[in-house]
Amino acid sequence: MTDRDGNYVLIVHEVADYAAWKAVFDDAAPIRRAAGEIYYHLLRLALDANEVVHFSRWSSLTDARRFFESPELVRIREEAGVKAPTFRYLESLEDGLL
């Protein structure tokens, strides 16, 4: 199955405390939705509960960049205890089910 309209963001970041970060993440759901986030999936490293991966689908990569680089989100990340996030903006090539 091909999905050429898929715009995704992969963020890997360390958080000071997962439970505290998750509360801020959940509270930010309305602004993420309004900014263009369609879907998200959270993962974490098997050996480090505070290294979080946030994989999300967006209406456009422009919307995603605008949101993640906004002063408001920088402030929210600081409040949530996020350390040195790494962002990857991705366009879908193909997906499939085996």
CATH of the domain at 48: 3.30.70.100
**Contact 86/9 with Cβ under 8 angstroms?**
no
Look up the domain containing 46 and give its range. Answer: 7-91
pLDDT above 60 for 1? no
Asked, for residue 97, whether it belongs to a domain, the answer is no
pLDDT above 90 for 9? yes
pLDDT in tens, 13-69: 999 999 999 999 999 999 999 999 999 999 999 998 899 999 999 999 999 999 999
Q: Which of 21, 2, 9 is nearest to 60 (CA)?
A: 9
- Say what the pTM is: 0.87
Overall domain count for the chain: 1
Asked, for residue 1, whether it belongs to a domain, the answer is no
